[in-house]
């Protein structure tokens, strides 16, 4: 047996394994470096009911929930309802509502916030958009939020 050939092959195998491990370490380091740069927002849309303390009548709201799962503070500037071709800017709905959506809003990492919009005001805004041909009557609507850079964060279709 030629020992020089054996040790040369053993060294080549060791060098190859070392190169692969170094490549994996570089990939992990780049992924960890980019992690703080990623934005991760989860958005939800549900209905909510509250009781009026004075009259005892139920108050119907729509609740937009934003959860910042990333490591960066984000500034949320606006909410929109998107149809097939056009989108309805719903920030102006807050001026007709008693439940104010205070925008722009800073969303810190690992926090969530709920924005309430009165149900009647929201439905009237959608009806008005349909009457003005901004949205079609029987189309799927998608809610999304925009941040300070104009990036969009979509909610599930409703």
Cβ contacts of residue 37 below 8 Å, gap of 6+? 72
* More confident: 130 or 95: 130
Confidence of residue 32 (pLDDT cuts 50, 70, 90): confident
Pairing of strands 152-154, 142-147: antiparallel
CA 70 to chain centre: 10
Each residue of 132-149: b (16+ CB within 10 Å) or e?
eeebeeeeebbbbbbbee
pTM, two decimals, is 0.66
Ranking 32-41, 52-61, 69-78 by mean pLDDT, the lowest is 32-41
Cα(114)–Cα(116) distance, rounded to whole angstroms? 6
What kind and span of H or E run contains 19? helix 3-34
| Terminal alpha carbon distance of the chain | 74
pLDDT above 90: percentage of residues in the chain = 11
HSE value, Cβ hemisphere, 13 Å, CA-based, for 112: 10
Confidence of residue 13 (pLDDT cuts 50, 70, 90): very high
Please give the pLDDT value at position 34. 72
| 74-109: pLDDT as tens digits | 888 888 888 877 777 877 665 555 555 577 888 898
């Amino acid at each position: 047996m030629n020992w020089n050939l054996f040790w040369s092959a053993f060294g080549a195998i060791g060098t190859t394994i070392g190169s692969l491990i170094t490549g994996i370490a570089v990939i992990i380091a780049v992924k960890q470096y980019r992690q703080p740069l990623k934005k991760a927002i989860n958005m939800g849309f549900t209905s909510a009911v509250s009781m009026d303390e004075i009259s005892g009548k139920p108050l119907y709201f729509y609740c937009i929930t934003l959860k910042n799962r990333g490591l960066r503070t984000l500034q949320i500037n606006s909410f929109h309802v998107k149809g097939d071709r056009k989108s309805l800017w719903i920030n102006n709905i807050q001026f007709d509502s008693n439940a104010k959506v205070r925008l722009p809003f800073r969303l810190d990492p690992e926090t969530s916030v709920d924005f309430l919009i009165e149900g009647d005001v929201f439905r009237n805004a959608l009806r008005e958009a349909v009457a003005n041909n901004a949205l079609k009557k029987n189309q799927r609507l998608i809610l999304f939020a925009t941040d300070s850079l104009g990036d969009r964060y979509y909610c599930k279709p409703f």
